[in-house]
Amino acid sequence: MDNSNNNQLVFIENEKVVTDSLMVAEVFGKRHDDVLRSIRNLDSSTEFNLRNFAEISHTDLKGRTYSKYTLTKNGLMFLVMGYRGV
């Protein structure tokens, strides 16, 4: 179930509190494609990535489909530690 269309900073998915890469881009003033690249290039173990990042399809209001990620709290913290000024 994708609750991220509500533009909430965090939401419940599969009984976990998560956010998504679109919200990360918005909150940190980054382009979404740059956030996706950052997630894909993280220097972390495969096990960590599987537990904390899930790539899913997203359809925007214009009907275009593209990738985005859901992130756990640990995934979010690991990602944003690499952003300057954080």
Q: What is the mean pLDDT of residues 7-11?
A: 79
Q: What is the mean pLDDT of residues 59-69?
A: 94
Confidence bin at 85 (pLDDT 50/70/90): low
Nearest-angstrom CA–CA distance, 39 and 58? 16
Nearest-angstrom CA–CA distance, 69 and 12? 14
Both structure tokens of 63: 């009907």
Give domain limits for the chain: 10-80
Largest Cα–Cα separation, the chain: 36
